Structure 1
Amino acid sequence: MSANQYNVKQIWILSVNISIASYIFLYTLGVFNTCTSNVAASLDWGDNTSTYINVFSTIIPVGQTIGCIVTPWFLDKLGRRKTIITQDILFIAGSIILVMPHTVTFGIGRFFTGFTSGVMATIGPVFINEVSPVEMIGKVGPLVVISNALGLLCSYSFGLFLPIENFSEDPNNYLWLFLFLFPAALCCYQLVYFLFFMKHDTPQFYLSKNMINEANQALRLTHNISGIGSGLRRVNSDIRGKTGISGIKLSLFGMIKEAKYKKMFRVSIGLAILSQLCGSTAIFFYSTTIFMKLGGGLFMARVVTVIMGLVNLISSTLSIVLIPHFGRKTLLISAEALVCIDMLLLGIFSQYADVGEIAIAILLIAFFVPFGYGLAAVFWMYLSEVLNDQIFTFSCIIIFLVSTSVSLVFPIAVESVGIGNSFLFFSVSMAIGILYVLFDCIESQGKTKDQILYEMRVLDASIAPENNPEESSSLQEEVECEVDENNEIKKVGQENELDKTNMSPEKYNEGKEFNPEELNNNSFSTSLNYSTTNK
């Protein structure tokens, strides 16, 4: 599909607004890290400070896990757009509860913001993947992780303005309230955008509900007239990726019973577990505590944490340059190898060799170089490419469950076996991850959805396409050259009329009946015949 077949500007605007959900997800995950002492002083935790810090650090991934579990229900019943709207409202309410000056309300607010951010973390990659043409996924896909990294950096940076001593006497100590209310303001903006400016869901959702006219309008939002055919072909492939042999749309539990989804489930579980055993969860939650435990002061710990967030953002942004030139597997394996080495050195230097605080700080910061481009940007893009939305959500559930487990076990492991041995465990996990990605994961770069589904063993050889990354373009050319038998509409005539009237494709087609057979008499019409009955 050429660039003139889809609305590049509209896709970027929509993707940026969707990615706000990803920003809120990681901001929520990291914001408590740099203001624990300030919150403890304001809420008078006293001798229970360590206990409350562990509880309220863990309650976020617990809420995110529960949110991720119910996300398939939201996506099926409400669609992508209305799910974001409801979660924006819930996050705003949770933030207001959180800043009420009481430990109980703080905990309740933390849970609800965690729940909401869990839904947002899941829906962002799915939403962007479904509204983006295949050719643009590599460009807009990294927005998810760039937004994540920016959210993490902001949550860390805001902590620099908080006092580091005399908490109860310094009026600036209550600035931590701003840290927790800031993402609620972003939710207000996103709520307004999806309520009043973006009123369409994805074609995939509309077709799953047999809402043909709405699917037509959604496609016209991101595709020009000449690109509608390829856009619908992409939707058709997505639908085939989550249906049974009989053509019936399957639920997640229905897919578990289908043998053809075995590899997809295996990849979703394997990558989900390995991604959380790289050490990122421990560093996100406890970077300030880790550095202080290794001898640094509170302010220096906050500075190092901010630098880590900045490096993570730069590395995530760098993925936009790397992704077009290297395969997904290559980037994943290289990132795992570098993290493996980094964690090995951290394990040795933090427990078995005294090299000083600066060396430890450098290694903690260096961790985010491979993590940002590989285990964050490429990882999430890869999952959205090789998994359908139900199994993608299932993978997110596993991610949050493992993240919760790591956040609970890590401080216990540090006390029992030492922080160095804890880092060594992450190093061994990455070594295993290299082998897993090398031997069980497919390469998805430059492949159509049908080709990916075939290599994931969801489609059989009788309907699998040839491994030709240019196939979608050639098929689109056939659509563009196709002329109606009655010569009622021709592509050239459409372009000329649009030029004369200066009308958008949306206005030009307003009121026309959507007929996929005009675009392709065979493959497109099949996508409209799938039953939406859950197995």
Structure 2
Amino acid sequence: MAIEEHKDVESGGDLQEPFIQHAHDDDDNNNNGSSIGMVILSTLVAVCGSFSFGTCVGYSAPTQAAIRADLNLSLAQFSLFGSLVTIGAMLGAITSGHITDFIGRKGAMRISSGFCITGWIAVFFSKDSFILDLGRFFTGYGIGVISYVVPIYIAEISPKNLRGGLATTNQLLIVIGSSVSFLIGSVVNWRLLALSGLAPCICLLIGLCFIPESPRWLAKVGREKEFQLALRRLRGKDADISHEAQEILDYIESLQSLPKAKLLDLFQSKYMRSLVIGVGLMVCQQASGINGIGFYASETFVASGLSSGKVGTIAYALIQVPFTALGAILMDKTGRRPLITVSASGTFIYIASFAIGMGSVPWVIMSEIFPINIKGSAGSLVVLLTWLGAWIVSYTYNFLMDWSAPGTFFLYAVGCLLTIVFVGKLVPETKGKTLEEIQACINTEQK
């Protein structure tokens, strides 16, 4: 099946690097002196979607016992409910590129919010497992789209000197959303927790009325006047946008001259190393068991001997936010390889260690290692496989715990050990390198 190359234009800051790096020094001054208020506002609005993502992922952890008791669900039925979010997200990931290409970044965020709102309402009113599962699937589809469009939108609106910092807010708000869901779920019942999931969706829908569409998408679809107006709103009325505007137009024109990549093209020998690295890192991330532990944290803490899962889930929530923020700070200081290696090694403090590196580094490296002409197709494949892995882990977790709790965590520890070996043998360090230098490094090692 052919996957259109439009994602290459849309997939964020990394694709902009080739032309951004050739900007003149006076453009740096212009960017630094321009108003960034609209960029910050637009980012804050977009990451309401990331927060919604986090609340959805974190919903099942504090609610497992209550939902099973109220709706008389078996362990298998609740495992299906917990994992349906990943099935919906797989479908969302597959269709997200076409949606964002057809109706724009803001349109895709609206579609996502609509699905999430519908899903949360279905969960709130559910009286049986069918409506409950349907609601979970709808929220999953919504966050599948969000997981693709929010990082793209942030990268495409940001000036180059702020892109890295603003891009990290996506992962940070996902973690905060998950933590808030854990905390609220420890004091309210599962129906009210579902209702609280509407808040970030509504904030996103309202906020989208006040922010511009991505200038790069507007340029791509030929709406040049709107492109100029959107870029002007983002850079400030006194900023000189002529050079940046021309670079965007030139870059999009150069991309359109590249051949469209098909899915099978990814398996050519010249792309194989990049594909192995991208897929391998995501497999390692899921093999650590994060989605099983995160989805069912409350019951896991009870099984470990705590009288109540609330204490454990609150600790989980409080730990992951600061360590995710720390990981974002360290990523461009220590490098990707050391950070993910230390993260995979630190299983004795699981959530803190995962948050500092394994949660975000695989996504960053994935965005850096693919050549520009296959980035869209490769990204679709990797994201799809990531959600597939998330489904497998989240669905099997409770069954594995019933089989052997120590054995389950030994399996995940092996996954972390394999991550260390994989990174040491195959993953290049990408810190401080241009995309062209990364490709040269991969191609040299491949020969």
Same fold by TM-score greater than 0.5: yes
Q: CA contact under 8 A between 1:337 and 1:430: conserved in structure 2? A: yes
In 2: Cα distance, 1:70 partner to 1:399 partner: 15
Q: Distance in 2 between matches of 1:215 and 1:255?
A: 33
Which of 203, 207, 213 is 1:193 aligned to? Answer: 207
* 1:5 positional shift: 5.8
Matched residue, 2:80: 55
The answer to whether 1:321 aligns with 2:329 is yes
What corresponds to 1:222 in structure 2? 234
> How far 1:389 sits from its partner (Å)?
4.3
**CA deviation string 1:466-515 (max 9, x = no partner):** xxxxxxxxxxxxxxxxxxxxxxxxxxxxxxxxxxxxxxxxxxxxxxxxxx
User: What corresponds to 1:133 in structure 2?
Assistant: 159
2-structure distance, mates of 1:25, 1:228:
36
Asked whether 1:401 is paired with 2:388, we answer yes
* Cα pair distance change 1:382/1:9, threshold 3 Å: farther
Task: Note if 1:374 corresponds to 2:373.
Answer: no
Q: Measured at CA, do residues 257 and 382 of structure 1 come closer, stay the same or move farther in structure 2, by a change above 3 Å?
A: closer
TM-score, normalised relative to structure 2: 0.83
- For 2:416 and 2:253, locate their aligned partners in 1 and report how far apart those are by CA, in whole Å: 34
Closer/same/farther in 2, CA of residues 69 and 429 from structure 1, 3 Å limit: same
Superposition map of 1:42-121 within 5 A: 42-43=70-71, 45=72, 48-103=73-128, 104-121=130-147
Task: Map 1:337-352; keep pairs closer than 5 Å.
Answer: 337-339=345-347, 342=348
CA displacement 1:57-82 (0-9 Å, x = unmatched): 11111111121122122122222221
Deviations 1:38-93 (A, max 9, x none): 223333x1xx4323211211111111112112212212222222100111122212
- Asked if the contact 1:72–1:390 (Cα under 8 Å) also holds between the matched residues in 2, the reply is no
Q: Structure 1: any 5+ residue segments left out of the alignment?
A: 163-174, 343-365, 459-535
Aligned to 1:533: none
Compute the displacement of 1:430 (Å).
Answer: 1.8
Is the CA contact 1:285–1:407 (under 8 Å) kept in the aligned structure 2?
A: yes
Matched letter for residue 191 of structure 1: L
User: In the aligned structure 1, how far is the partner of 2:247 from the partner of 2:410?
Assistant: 47
Equivalent AA in structure 2 for residue 444 of structure 1: T
Matched to 1:415, the amino acid is: D
Normalising by the residue count of structure 1, what TM-score does the alignment of the two structures yield?
0.70
8 Å Cα contact 1:269/1:395 also seen in 2 = yes
Q: 1:384 aligns with which of 367, 383, 394?
A: 367
- Measured against aligned partners, the alpha-carbon deviations of 1:218-251 in whole angstroms (never above 9, x if no partner) come to 43343464465357547866886x77xxx23525
Instruction: Judge conservation of contact 1:223–1:231 (CA < 8 Å) in 2.
Output: no
State the structure with bigger RCO (CA 8 A, min sep 6), 1 or 2. Answer: 2
Equivalent positions of 1:257-268 (< 5 A) are: 260-268=270-278
1:275 Cα deviation (Å)?
1.0
Q: Which residue matches 2:282?
A: 272
Tell whether 2:420 aligns with 1:434.
Answer: yes
**Secondary structure class of the residue paired with 1:102:** coil
Q: Give the aligned partner of residue 160 of structure 1.
A: 186
Does the 8 Å CA contact 1:206/1:212 hold for their aligned counterparts? yes
Q: CA 1:400 to 1:10, structure 2 compared with 1: closer, same or farther past 3 Å?
A: same
Residue 14 of structure 1: how far off its partner (Å): 1.7
Match of 2:317 among 309, 316, 329: 309
Flag structure 2 segments of 5+ consecutive residues without an equivalent.
Answer: 1-27
Distance between the aligned counterparts of 2:219 and 2:268, measured in 1? 23
Q: Counterpart of 1:304 in structure 2: which amino acid?
A: G
Q: Is the 8 A contact 1:274 1:430 kept in 2?
A: yes
- Structure 2: how far apart are the matches of 1:239 and 1:451? 23
CA displacement at 1:260 relative to structure 2: 4.7
What is the Cα deviation at residue 394 of structure 1? 2.6
Inter-partner Cα distance in structure 1 for 2:267 and 2:351: 39
Cα deviations by residue, 1:338-377 (Å, 9 ceiling, x for unpaired): 23xx2xxxxxxxxxxxxxxxxxxxxxxx212121121123
Give, in whole Å, the separation in 1 of the partners of 2:227 and 2:436.
21
Q: 1:332 to 1:53 in 2, by over 3 A?
A: same
* Residue from 31, 42, 46 that aligns with 2:59: 31
Q: 1:446 aligns with which of 424, 429, 432?
A: 432
Partners of 1:260 and 1:239 in 2: how far apart?
25
In 1, Cα distance between equivalents of 2:383 and 2:114: 22
Q: The residue matched to 1:367 in structure 2 has which SS?
A: helix
CA contact (8 A) 1:238 1:449 kept: no
1:234 and 1:449 in contact (8 A); partners too? no
CA contact (8 A) 2:282 2:362 kept: no
For residues 191-223 of structure 1, the C-alpha deviation after alignment (integer angstroms, 9 at most, x for no partner) is 1221x21231241x2343343334333433434
Residues 229/251 of structure 1: CA separation in 2 closer, same or farther (3 Å cut): same
Q: Answer yes or no: is the 8 Å Cα contact 1:146–1:377 preserved in 2.
A: no
Could you say if the C-alpha distance between residues 390 and 223 of structure 1 is closer, same or farther in structure 2, counting changes exceeding 3 Å? farther
User: CA 1:70/1:380 → structure 2, altered by over 3 Å: closer, same or farther?
Assistant: same
- Residues 383, 233 of structure 1: CA spacing in aligned structure 2 closer, same or farther, 3 A cutoff? farther
Report the equivalent of 2:223: 211
Partners of 2:231 and 2:93 in 1: CA distance: 27
Deviation per residue, 1:90-111 (Å, 9 max, x gap): 2212222221141122121111
3-state SS of paired residue (1:77): helix
RMSD: 2.7
Q: Aligned equivalents of 1:25 and 1:239: distance in 2?
A: 34
Partner of 1:150: 176
C-alpha contact (below 8 Å) 1:142/1:319 kept by paired residues:
no
Does the 8 Å CA contact 2:62/2:296 hold for their aligned counterparts?
no
Task: Give the 3 Å change call, closer, same or farther, for CA 415–96 of structure 1 in structure 2.
Answer: closer
- Structure with more helix by fraction: 2
Partner in structure 1 of residue 260 of structure 2: 250
Query: Does the CA-based 8 Å contact 1:138-1:324 persist in structure 2?
Result: no
Superposition deviation, residue 153 in structure 1: 0.7
Q: What is the Cα deviation at residue 257 of structure 1? A: 6.3
